[in-house]
Chain A
Amino acid sequence: MSTATPSQTVGPFFSFGLVNANLVVAPGDTAPVRLEGCVLDGAGAGVPDAVVEVLTPAGFGRCLTEADGSYRFVVSKPSPLRHADGTFEAPHLDMSVFARGLLQRVATRVYFPGDDSNAADPVLTSIAAEEVRATLVAQPTDGGLRFDVHLQGPQETAFFAL
């Protein structure tokens, strides 16, 4: 029997309590990547009261969304993650989103477009539907990457039970 404390919404009024940390850059990385996007609701509207968090081998990052639902980070692209049994995971960021109206976080992953190792990644390949799998791969932009989080709708992002 679990004794875990249940999750509750972050609510709308967190911006004075939760601090942004937009830089998640590994020491010595001279070519970090700009990662930006929007958190969008089921009507396609930006979510202005969301908290986007990323976890990478370079550390933890957090960005509170702007009025249009946008967030931005500067991140290092990680190396593939190799496990002792010889398997590996393609370069990725773990992402969690909290918001007013989300009673618990949504957890997803951000993969890098055009990376050959994506084809063998165990999380990506666990998703049968191509269009769902594609929601986890960022889009290249002029000088960076774009990753929108669709909480609902035809482009709903793939979220995982962690």
Chain B
Amino acid sequence: MTLTEGTAQALDPPYLAPDYRSTVLRAPKRPLLPWPATVPDAAFPLLGDGRLGPLDDDLTKQHDGEPLGERITVNGRVLDADGRPVRRQLVEIWQANAAGRYAHPVDQHPAPLDPNFTGAGRCLTDDDGHYRFVTVKPGAYPWGNHPNAWRPAHIHFSLFGTLLSQRLITQMYFPGDPLFPFDPIMQAVRDPDARQRMVASFELDLTEPEWALGYRFDIVLNGQRATPFES
């Protein structure tokens, strides 16, 4: 049971992906150092205490009025590499509004801010690893990486497991987005199956009549030292 080419680690994007220009001065140039086999993974604490407010999982109810846009729910499970649920752990999300504008002072995209939408959410997984958010579908937006560069619509996700190695920040994309082939951030994940695991699925069963479209996005945390895989 050793770490070899083609394993989970290789499915993550490389540090240097020149088509994504910001990697050029920020990607480490030395290969990552191997972790000493005798040193255990550090346990990660549960992060619920004091970090959650009552409306944190409903991004459409954090202001006086309802935000504009297509109301959606995002539902899924957080699992470890062996398929076991990550229980009672923090999930954080943040996103642009329906017009593709972030509530962030540096975002200069000339699309409107929505006074009824901040775009930040938090919740805890339940005992089966389930989480659920109510929000609006974010818009695509231009980002200046190259001429006519647009990010596909996405929601940023921050996940914790029970081990340091499982810490993950990723992005959830929406099915069928025509911008996928042109996005160097998504395409930095070279393996098409791995890329597909960042795309939510639309599910009619999760869609609530007369109210909101339902998407499913399950997340599997790596934690390779806790769960070595076969070569």
A contact set with B: CB distance below 8 Å: 1-19, 41-43, 45, 47, 49, 53, 55, 59-60, 83, 87, 89, 94, 96, 98-107, 122-123, 126-127, 132, 151-152, 156-162
**Complex contact A5–B42 (CB within 8 A):** no
Q: How far is the CB of B177 from chain A (nearest CB, A)?
A: 14
B39 touches A123 (CB 8 A): yes
How distant is B202 from chain A, measured CB to nearest CB, in Å? Answer: 18
Please encode chain B, from 11 to 28, with 1 for each CB lying within 8 Å of some chain A CB and 0 for all others: 111110100101111111
A13-B104, A98-B169 given; A2·B36 CB < 8 A = no
**Chain A contacts for B167, CB-based, 8 A:** 53, 96, 105
Asked if residues A8 and B221 are in contact (CB atoms below 8 Å), the reply is: no
Q: A16-B94, A16-B118, A17-B94 are in contact. Are A47 and B26 (CB under 8 A)?
A: yes
The answer to whether B35 has its CB under 8 Å from any CB of chain A is yes
Residues of B within 8 A of A (CB): 3, 7-9, 11-15, 17, 20, 22-30, 32-36, 38-42, 44-45, 47, 51, 81, 92-94, 96, 102-104, 106-107, 118-121, 156, 158, 164-165, 167-171, 185-186, 188-189, 194-195, 197-198, 219-222, 224-225, 229
- From known contacts A9-B185, A101-B27, infer whether A4 and B104 are also in contact, taking CB-CB under 8 Å: no
Q: Tell me whether chain B's interface is mostly helix, strand or loop, or mixed.
A: loop
> Within 8 Å CB of A18, what residues of B?
92, 94, 158
Q: Is the interface of A mostly helix, strand, loop or mixed?
A: loop
CB <8 Å contact, B220 and A4: yes
| Cβ A104 vs Cβ B185 within 8 A | no
Q: Once the chains are docked, how many angstroms separate the CA of A161 from the CA of B170?
A: 18
Q: Are B197 and A151 in contact (CB under 8 A)?
A: no
Which of A17, A42, A94, A162 interacts with B25 by CB under 8 Å?
A42
